[in-house]
Chains A and B, each alone.
Chain A
Amino acid sequence: KAGVTQTPRYLIKTRGQQVTLSCSPISGHRSVSWYQQTPGQGLQFLFEYFSETQRNKGNFPGRFSGRQFSNSRSEMNVSTLELGDSALYLCATGTSGRFNEQFFGPGTRLTVL
């Protein structure tokens, strides 16, 4: 099976812009979670989608949003970018809920200038 893919791999934006990141899960995986990883805060949970519904949510402002399509692919959007949004954004997929074994993509490195 193909692994989890994320596009783009690298992105440079300026403050105030918005960005959309994409995650394609492993075939058969219906749960997609998003994480932000920074040197200071580590890995932080953004949200989880399952069957096109946001099922769980972390403690991020409303500028961070996401959606999931019927084929389980997911997108994450960040509006009005801030310098502090510079991070590695990782998506992880799984077969069901309860956060058992998660399969991570390679991540999207976002730099905000």
Chain B
Amino acid sequence: SQQGEEDPQALSIQEGENATMNCSYKTSINNLQWYRQNSGRGLVHLILIRSNEREKHSGRLRVTLDTSKKSSSLLITASRAADTASYFCATDVRQGGSEKLVFGKGTKLTVNP
């Protein structure tokens, strides 16, 4: 099963509005990352938040992390049409002596001009 689960699966907003996406995970983590993917293309790293951090900002992005609830949120403020993309959270998971980055299924954001 997926380590990270984003919510909602899809979000449609108007340009200028804020968009909030949530991610829940199951096991303890070292860090949590958010990525963006434009339709059928490679992913772009947005931000990394470490397990001992509670909030992080990067431009119009704000990420929070609540390790007690095993959840994170990504807020995009003053959204633009160019923000239309799918957004994924990713966590590092150790399993059976192996480590891997596990992605959620993503939130598809549509920003209408």
Which residues does A use to contact B, with CB under 8 Å?
4, 33, 35, 42-43, 45, 48, 56-58, 88, 90, 92, 97-107, 109
Return B57 CB to nearest CB of chain A, in Å: 17
The 3 A-B pairs at the shortest CB distance, nearest first, are namely A104-B42, A43-B103, A45-B100
Which residues of chain B have C-beta atoms less than 8 A from A104's C-beta?
35, 42-45
Contact A107 B100 (CB under 8 A): no
Name B's interface SS: strand
Chain A-chain B contacts (Cβ-Cβ < 8 Å), number: 57
Contact A102 B42 (CB under 8 A): no
In the complex, the chain A residue whose C-beta lies closest to that of B98 is A56
Which residues of chain A have C-beta atoms less than 8 A from B42's C-beta?
4, 90, 104-107
Of B2, B40, B45, which one neighbours A107 at CB under 8 angstroms?
B40
Return A99 CB to nearest CB of chain B, in Å: 4
Of B44, B45, B92, B98, which one neighbours A98 at CB under 8 angstroms?
B92
**For the complex, is B68 an interface residue (Cβ under 8 Å from A)?**
no
CA–CA, A102 and B104, complex, Å: 16
Contact B100 A98 (CB under 8 A): no
Which of A98, A99, A103 has most B Cβ within 10 Å? A99
CA–CA, A35 and B42, complex, Å: 11
**For the complex, is B61 an interface residue (Cβ under 8 Å from A)?**
no
CA–CA, A43 and B105, complex, Å: 7
Of B35, B41, B100, B105, which one neighbours A48 at CB under 8 angstroms?
B100
Which residues of chain B have C-beta atoms less than 8 A from A42's C-beta?
2, 103-106
Return A110 CB to nearest CB of chain B, in Å: 13
Contact B43 A92 (CB under 8 A): yes
Q: Mark B39-61, 1 if CB is under 8 A from A, else 0.
A: 01111110010000000000000
